[in-house]
Structure 1
Amino acid sequence: MNKLKIALALTPILLCTILSAQKIKPKDVRKDMKRVADWQIEHYKDPYTWDEVHHPLDWTNGALYVGMVKWAQMANDDTYFNWLKGIGEEQEWKLWERTYHADDHTVGQMYCELYRKYGDEKMIEPTQKQFDFIMYHPSQSKLNWGTPFHQDRWNWCDALFMSPPVWAKLYKITGEKKYLDFMVSEYQATTNFLFDTEENLYYRDESFMGKLDNGTKIFWARGNGWVFAGLANILAELDPESDEYAYFLGIYRKMANKLIDIQTPQGHWAMSLLGQDFYPTPETSGSSFFIFGLAWGINNGILDYDTYEPAVRKGWNAMTSYITKEGMLGYVQPIGAGPGKAWPDKTEVYGTGAFLSAGSEVYKLYSK
């Protein structure tokens, strides 16, 4: 009986060890990405953990498009680009409703990438016009949570994925540094406000500062996933010799070093990053963003392969184990603003986007 108890106790550890050691084959990465992308397109207009279907220009779908573009670029199949282009045409290439709100800028990342492929000015004209207006009429609101019009600036960490990469892409596309200067100034303000220099992680917003969850500071996994993935997407647009690149690289390196220290034995990251013991449920949206960012860093010679590759391998193997036989990515935490719950049979479009982003860099990593 004692031997049986020991064996049962060791089983999860052995499974984690086997999973983390499993080799990753590029052809399998492509296969899993296609399965998840195809399932998501088929179910694009279905409700998930939210009561209503998301608007095509909502941030949820904007995050999906970020990953879907990366898949389209490696799929050797115009189906995916045509699907994305159809959405842009249907929406007349506009951003969504709120002029200043970062969430409503997210879709601009997809517009910029489609412009790069097709060279059609109409794809980015509305975004550029709106961003010009923001620059010349900057919000005067404070970053404190709950002050009037507070989300007209990036005072929650999710925003650092949604809007700054669009500014960086516009800078790269147009060559006009005003877009980069505005973005860096606002990004620095947010980082000075929300970045914890002891833990090298971001608070979701001011309301989490000074609070503890089971004795640990509260750093939301998906919130920091938004930041980390956004950093990779920003750095990809900048001159590696520039001061701006050095600024973002400094934050990126600090976060990367922290992330490999707090990855769970199972390969995912806890929904409250410092609270593994209290949040054992897997979560695939934040974890996929971390995998994307880490793999991107290795692929671009920023992160040491021997140090960081094991975290990517273990993480990717964990993510693919949560895909259902139909092709749905499970364990995506519903829309929220902090640590919560996730289920194996629940998904969300932004989780798919994060997974496809991760796969695009994992494929490159193991194709070398």
Structure 2
Amino acid sequence: MRKISLVIFALFPIHFLFAQTNLLNDFPKGYTPEEVGELIAYRFVDAKHALHGGKWISYPETFYWRGALKYAATTKDKKLFKLLENKFEPLFSTEKELLPIKNHVDLNMFGCLPLELYQITKKKSYLKLGLPYADTQWEVPNDAKPEQKEWAEKGFTWQTRLWIDDMYMITIVQTQAFKVTKDSKYIDRAAKEMVLYLDELQRPNGLFYHAPDVPYYWLRGNGWMAAGVTELLRYLPTDHKDRPRIMQGYQIMMESLKKYQNQDGIWNQLIDEPDCWPETSGSAMFTYALITGVKQGWLDAEKYAPVARKAWMALVPYVDKKGAVSEVCVGTNKKYDKQYYYDRPRRTGDYHGQAPFLWCIVALMEK
């Protein structure tokens, strides 16, 4: 009897761990990543451009496009991939003027899109288009402001501004450049920048102010940080000198998100304000970070798999039959005014929300 008990006890942790991980693999009809992903990804095919300042492909569109590409690659949907690639082709010719210029953190990140296409197709034209967006982020222009030159002299990008949004914008294009070139300078840049933002903006509770002079825990801003640090950790070498610091910042943040998750499964526009409204884009970014952390073994599956599943199950009902996500905060600049964040308009189908749902979907489908 004693031997049988010992065997059961020894096997229990294995079965329990499997059960926790399975929380992110087994979903009821209507909630599977394949069903939701197809709706959202195909919606982008015929969608209009969302231009930055009315001139260039914007970062929300870039991320939506890249998310749809990753979904197509993950599901091996050749039809979808061809439609997405065909949509890009005019940017080499008739829509060339829509290519973002390379003078701002929100514009340079466009490079991650052609670099994603290069990884899938190996077409040199995509590499040639995408890589300069990563390089110019560290090439100081002649008209740079004094404070921008100061950042560059310290080894950071001249586009540094200490807004938490930056930690996805900068990280995504630099990690993509590292993936396609294997040149460590790109991942080193991203890691150095991430440590700076962690040191300057992360608070003792694990969350981040929007900026040093804006002491509010804005949801999507924190979402950008969560997604950015997750992307970086996926590709940062295990022996990299900055990995322990970055992993520490990530894990402290995830612990805080577990604490602030609403009973219904998502998070509020201002994370620490119970009377603020639930917002979907930032919540999806958190969910992506949590799913990836559990699957990569960075987070304890027993504690965090239920948190990630609860969030996903809460998010799916916000997707309508046409693949449009509702309750998405519009683009938001920093402002020293708490009510400003409460009053931000909410939209359905805004690209800020479409993209992070696809990140969650791809993460759920990954083995």
If the length of structure 2 is used for normalisation, what is the TM-score? 0.78
> Would the aligned equivalents of 1:94 and 1:126 in 2 still touch at CA under 8 Å?
no
Structural RMSD (CA): 3.1
What is the SS of the residue equivalent to 2:175? helix
Report what 2:355 is aligned to: 353
1:3-55 CA-partner distances (Å, limit 9, x unpaired): xxxxxxxxxxxxxxxxx9xx62488221111112223433x1177xx9x9976
1:112 deviation in Å? 1.8
CA distance in structure 1 between the partners assigned to 2:71 and 2:97 by the alignment: 23
Deviation at 1:323, TM superposition (A): 1.6
Pair 1:314-2:318 in alignment: no
How far apart in 1 are the matches of 2:104 and 2:73?
28
Aligned to 1:80: 80
Give the Å deviation of 1:268. Answer: 0.8
Q: What letter matches 2:207 in structure 1? A: L
Quote the Cα distance in structure 2 between the aligned partners of 1:98 and 1:151: 15
Seq. identity, %: 23
Q: Distance in 1 between matches of 2:347 and 2:185?
A: 45
Q: Does 1:288 align with 2:284?
A: yes
Task: Identify unmatched segments of 5+ residues in structure 2.
Answer: 1-22, 149-156, 335-340
| Partner residue in 1 for 2:254 | 256
In structure 2, what is the equivalent of residue 330 of structure 1? Answer: 326
**Counterpart code for 2:42:** D
8 Å CA contact 1:268–1:319 kept in 2: the answer is yes
Alpha-carbon shift at residue 70 of structure 1 (Å): 2.5
Is residue 110–residue 133 contact of structure 2 (8 Å, CA) maintained in 1? no
- Number of equivalenced pairs: 325
Larger relative contact order (CA 8 Å, sep ≥ 6): 1
Question: Deviations along 1:64-100, whole A, 9 cap, x unmatched?
Answer: 1232222112232123322332344322399944424
Distance 1:74-1:97 versus aligned 2 partners, 3 A rule: closer
What stretches of structure 1 of length at least 5 have no aligned partner? 1-19, 144-149, 210-217
Alpha carbons of structure 1 residues 174 and 345: separation in structure 2 relative to 1, 3 Å: closer
Give how far 1:324 is off: 1.8
Please give the alpha-carbon distance, in whole angstroms, between the structure 2 residues aligned to 1:59 and 1:29.
Answer: 24
Matches of residues 1-368 of structure 1 in structure 2 within 5 Å? 24-25=27-28, 28-42=32-46, 44-45=47-48, 57-92=57-92, 96-137=99-140, 141-142=146-147, 152-196=159-203, 198-209=204-215, 218-275=216-273, 277-279=274-276, 281-337=277-333, 339-340=341-342, 346-364=348-366
Do the aligned partners of 2:115 and 2:131 also contact (CA within 8 Å) in 1? no
- The AA in structure 2 aligned to 1:163 is I
Q: TM-score, normalised by structure 1?
A: 0.78
Cα distance in 2 for residues equivalent to 1:316 and 1:342:
24
Contact kept in structure 1, 2:111 and 2:129, CA below 8 Å:
no
Tell me the amino acid that sits aligned with residue 82 of structure 1. Answer: K
Change in CA separation of 1:57 and 1:102 when aligned onto 2, cut-off 3 Å: same
Counterpart of 2:102, as a letter, is: T
Distance 2:53 2:258 in 1: 35
